[in-house]
Chains A and B, each alone.
With several copies, the nearest count.
Chain A
Amino acid sequence: MSSPQASGGGATAETPLQRKRARTIFEQGAPGRRAFVCPEMDVPEVDPAQLLPEHLRRIDPPRLPEVSEPEIVRHYVSISKRNFDLDSGFYPLGSCTMKHNPRLHERAAALEGHARLHPLQESERAQGALELMWNLQNALAEISGLPHVSLQPSAGSHGELAGVLLTRAYHESRGERRMKVLTPDTAHGTNPATVTMAGLRVVKLATDAQGGIDIEDLRAKADGEVACLMLTNPNTLGIFDPNIEQIAAIVHDAGATLYYDGANLNAVMGLSRPGDMGFDIVHFNLHKSFTQPHGGGGPGSGPIAVSERIAPFLPVPVVTRREDGAFELDHDRPHSIGRLRGFHGNYGCFVRAYAYIRSLGAEGLRDASENAVLNANYLLARLRQADLGEGRRVEDLLPLAYGELCMHEFVLSGGPMKRELKLKTLDLAKRLLDFGFHPPTVYFPLLVDEALMVEPTETETRETLDAFAQAVAEILREAALEGPEIARNAPYTTPVRRLDEVAAAKHPVIRQAL
């Protein structure tokens, strides 16, 4: 691609998408215009004033848009094109498991019997839904190696909150008040945030040279005040902790519970189970390992599976099966921590996750994890070996932060790249946009300098992985030859270019002025 510098940074010959100033739906339409046709007033007209006293009534209507249906459709279809999406390009966003979302799942979830089923429908008349939830509970129990499941939590972090509350309930039931929760410095931000919300205190654990938990540090901190250790395994470095058995032993000896952040479950389905590793509680991200589409930031679903000793405290309701084979929702659990939300959880996501599990089956799930790990290691190898000329290779500038191999994802350090090429990880990420790729996760985990966290997933082809490795190499060569400015000013070809986030935060404009 010819240097955008030459053409003033691509700002000329904007595409219609670029040129058009973003207009919100509130800036369209005309007074009186409408899409909604109100069903006829088929009951005796009544003066609202008579049914609703003045002081309870709204005086001036909310200033919602006044637009026609064609305008609404055109507006949202048009702005949708300003999104990058998984169905159009490679999305190696580390820790997010951007795997293909099969359309069968959308078709199945849209069936009237699922989509228009009211959550308070009597159990006898919702047996299909309850059986689906029951089957999903059992499948998740088998996959995690933990026998008892609650599907209630709304997302991963909600599952974490449930998990820590369960830990509290467990300890309290034994008359203990343990206030500390150990979290490695590689932990995802939701872990410490959850601990605080659950009323406990975070104690950080160091990471050792192999990228696992520093055992000595753990030993030192695993005292009688520790309620729980929250661990992601493989962790956010993509490393499966080699000392997991020892870690479990230490934690259990300290009388604490072991929590498994399931965001990285995609690395081990059918290959290794949290329950067998000694974990007491695990949350699943159905929107990661089990193909619930991410929706641009949700919906998600974060079921939890727990060991026998935690089971009594599970949130209500859980699906149970009667002797006669019928399914019902069990709300009557005296030791339960209670509800985490309304109704029974994100059923629509259960349908998709269940469809996925039934499509793949036992073998398919294992194959998925095997290929996720294979793809990650292949991409890692390709990246490291990619030639930069003068005998230099990408790994000289973007070394693997820890270890030699990886599980389903890996973390590179952009430190050398920054020092030698004056190219920050952020600039590399932005330049990748011009190549039509979604960048990896950047600057996480925090302990890696200029971190670049790459998770290709199992549903990508080798050709795509090769193309991505080439693009990274091309950007580094470009910076070496023409300097870092090109990347620093990237992207050029996107609907908008770099945005002023500082100004946005300094003087927040978070709603349209009307």
Chain B
Amino acid sequence: MLAAIGVSSIEELFARQIPEAVRLRRALDLPAGMPEQDVYAHLRELARRNVSCEEELSFLGAGMYDHYVPAFIDMLMERSEFLTPYTPYQPEISQGGLQVMFEYQTAICELTALPVSNASVYEGPSAAAAAAYLAKLHNGRSRLVVSAGMHPHTIETLRTHAHGYGMEVVEVALSGGVTDLVAWRGAIDGDTSAALFAQPNFYGAVEDAQALSDAAKDSAGEDAPVVVCQVDPITLGILRPPGQCGVDVAVGEGQALGNRLDFGGPSFGLFAAREEYLRRMPGRIAGETVDVDGRRGFVLTLQTREQHIRREKATSNICTAQALNALGGVAYLAWLGRRGIVELGELLLARTHYARDTLTAIDGIDALHTQPAVRELAVRLHADVAAVKARCARAAVNPGVDVQALTGREEDRGGLLVAITEQRTRADIDRLAQTLGAAVAAEREAVAV
């Protein structure tokens, strides 16, 4: 091969192109390579030192949930045809991926009751940031009014990006577990670019989405802000969808839909909006068309929004998104189906309330709020949460997320967020109650002494 190139050595290829001063003249300081079996053994060993949802009874949630992923979805996501291609730049040989995007967009539009969806963004919190950027492009204003009920990671992510966008973030407190409507109305003014809230919110409470969007709209009159709702898609079989609550843009974390936990990623972010925002959407969008023989086909469309065409004028810088994870999402939604998503929602609803009733009946545990909750509930422990969790861990139970550890809010002291999935049965909930109750009691005793 060197002869064909006309060089005498591989070294020559580099010597002739890279200035000596910036050549690395030593070996990288990394361990030596290993045969496949040894790398596997090492990664197996690392995995062994993690406690997965398989090894403990876990009620962790707060944004990612241990839903059951049907086996066929793994198979599809492992298929070379879906796993290994690049973004479909050559539609003639990418119809599989493009059709999946089109079907995904349709499913997300149905879920959110909004007319347009893109083919995915990175994940939940950054999807909210993307919505804020869309609002900025739309109305050029610089204020972001954010409900304190949004996930703390979302709020932090919004702040990080807002600094770049040249926007400021104004947080609206909660009252009784949901966004304080008065404060919300008060915070929104003519400079408000977007008003964002979560449904259900971080504390598991179902917000009155209609009231929040109405308030946002009429408080600003003419200059109504873009109303953004961060949804938990798996609840949309039973919760009034954003498109039917006056919401302009719906974003959300898609992991619950057929994606594994993976310690937090990769998953996908969903992004849907009203028609008028179509040409300001971030990311890929697949569209239907026909080929020269009149055959139905799909292509990436409205690319004039995108960075590779519009460059500094693009509606977003996103390029690689989450196509494979979105495949998991649409395949999961097809698996649930029109009835399944309702049945599942009702099962989660019933179990969540059963869990709330059971837990709050325990001495030393009461509800953090009494709002309706559909798949996650917040209680307050009259004991140190970390200490209680440590006690539960000994019984191989993980009772949930320490709220204050995430929000840092004083009023959240003692808060525990308990997530319910279809994999947590009544028996599991009863075991949780028994373990958690005992741990709280023991901890209070220990402190009392």
Determine if chain A interacts with chain B.
Answer: yes
Q: In chain B, residues 413-437, which have Cβ atoms closer than 8 Å to a Cβ of chain A?
A: 422, 425-427, 429
In the assembled complex, how far is the CB of residue B245 from the closest CB belonging to chain A, in whole angstroms? 9
Contacts of B327 in A (CB 8 A): 76, 296
Return 17 A-B CB contacts under 8 Å, by A number. A26-B103, A35-B336, A41-B346, A80-B79, A81-B96, A116-B54, A189-B308, A202-B311, A245-B19, A295-B325, A299-B322, A301-B266, A337-B160, A342-B153, A346-B264, A349-B265, A362-B27
Does B304 sit within 8 A of A, measured CB to CB? Answer: yes
Q: List the A side residues contacting B325 at CB < 8 Å.
A: 295, 298-299
Residue from the set B51, B265, B372 with the largest chain A CB neighbour count within 10 Å: B265
**B318 touching A497 by the CB < 8 A rule?**
no
CB of B248 within 8 Å of the partner chain: no
Residue of B nearest to A385 (CB): B4
B301 interfacial contact with A, CB 8 Å: yes
**Given the complex of chains A and B, what is the CA–CA distance between A58 and B183 in angstroms?**
27
- Interface residue ranges of B56-112 to A (CB < 8 Å): 58, 60, 62-64, 66, 70-72, 74-97, 99-103, 105-107, 109-111
B30 touches A365 (CB 8 A): yes
Residues of chain B from 22 to 63 with CB closer than 8 A to chain A in the complex: 22-24, 27-40, 42-55, 58, 60, 62-63
Task: Determine if A479 is an interface residue (Cβ-Cβ < 8 Å).
Answer: no
Interface presence of B210 (CB below 8 A): yes
Alpha-carbon gap, A126 to B393, bound state (A) = 13
> Across the interface, which residues of B come within 8 angstroms of A429, CB to CB?
90
A82-B94, A118-B261, A373-B13 known, 20 other contacts, Cβ within 8 Å? A38-B347, A45-B350, A58-B237, A76-B327, A83-B88, A107-B40, A117-B263, A118-B58, A196-B313, A199-B164, A276-B24, A295-B83, A342-B153, A343-B153, A345-B264, A377-B13, A500-B290, A501-B91, A508-B287, A514-B106
Instruction: Please give, as numbers and ranges, the residues of chain B lying within 8 Å of A109 by CB-CB distance.
Output: 262
B95 touches A495 (CB 8 A): yes
- Contact partner of B102 (CB less than 8 A), chosen from A129, A276, A298, A512, is A512
A430 close to B337 (CB less than 8 A): no
Question: In the complex, are the beta carbons of A24 and B99 less than 8 A apart?
Answer: yes
> Is the pair B86, A346 in contact by a Cβ cutoff of 8 Å?
no
A contact residues, range? 35 or more
Residue of A nearest to B107 (CB): A64
Q: Determine if A48 and B309 form an interchain contact, defined as CB atoms under 8 angstroms apart.
A: no
Q: Considering the chains assembled together, what is the distance between the CA atoms of A118 and B417 in angstroms? A: 14
Cα distance A321–B51 in the bound complex, in angstroms:
19
Please measure, in the bound complex, the distance between the C-alpha atom of A295 and the C-alpha atom of B322, giving whole angstroms.
8
Contacts of A125 in B (CB 8 A): 50-51, 393
What CA separation (Å) do A396 and B157 show in the bound complex? 52
Chain A residues with CB under 8 Å of B440's CB are none
Complex partner residue of A51 from B237, B321, B353, CB under 8 angstroms: B353
CB distance from A177 to the nearest CB of B (A): 12
Number of A-B contacts (CB under 8 A): 719
Asked if residues A298 and B46 are in contact (CB atoms below 8 Å), the reply is no
Contact with B along A438-478 (1 / 0, CB 8 A): 11010010000000000000000010000000000000000
A500 to B52 Cα, complex, angstroms: 48
Taking the complex as formed, is A357 at the interface, i.e. its CB lies under 8 A from any CB of chain B? yes
With both chains docked as a complex, state the minimum distance between the C-beta of B154 and any C-beta of chain A, in angstroms.
7
A112 near B307 with CB under 8 A, answer no
Docked CA distance A354–B42 (Å): 11
State whether B31 touches A118 (Cβ < 8 A). no
CB neighbours of A22 from chain B (8 A)? 95, 99, 295-298
Q: Which of B186-194, B217-225, B278-286 contacts A (4 or more CB under 8 A)?
A: B278-286
| A residues in contact with B126, CB < 8 Å | 154, 158, 340-342
- Contact in complex: B372, A360 (CB < 8 Å): no
On chain B, the residues within 8 Å of A59 by CB distance are: 240
Cα A358 to Cα B239 in complex, Å, equals 34
Q: How far is the CB of A346 from chain B (nearest CB, A)?
A: 4
User: Are B71 and A104 closer than 8 Å at their CB atoms?
Assistant: yes
Q: Which residue of A lies closest to B313 (CB)?
A: A196
Q: Tell me if B365 is interfacial: C-beta within 8 Å of chain A.
A: no
A369-388 interface with B by 8 A CB criterion: 370, 373-374, 377-378, 380-382, 385
For B167-197 the 0/1 string (1 means CB < 8 A from A) is: 0000000000000000000000000000000
A55:B262 contact, CB within 8 angstroms: no
Is A254 an interface residue when CB atoms closer than 8 A count as contact?
no
Q: A72-B335, A192-B311 are in contact. Are A160 and B321 (CB under 8 A)?
A: no
A37–B337 Cα gap in the complex (Å)? Answer: 10
- Per the bound structure, the CA–CA distance linking A165 and B85 in Å amounts to 31
Q: Measured between alpha carbons, how far is A377 from B9 in the docked complex, in Å?
A: 12
User: Contacts A116-B261, A117-B261, A294-B84 given: A271-B96 contact, CB under 8 Å?
Assistant: no
> Given contacts A193-B314, A373-B10, A505-B301, is CB(A103)–CB(B151) below 8 Å?
no
Contact status B23-A271, CB under 8 Å: yes
Give every chain B residue within 8 A of A127 (Cβ-Cβ): 49-50
**Given A24-B103, A24-B106, does the pair A496, B297 have CB atoms closer than 8 Å?**
yes
List the 8 closest A-B pairs by CB distance, nearest first. Answer: A113-B47, A295-B324, A343-B264, A361-B33, A119-B264, A299-B266, A297-B323, A128-B49
Residue B1 at the chain A interface, CB threshold 8 Å: yes
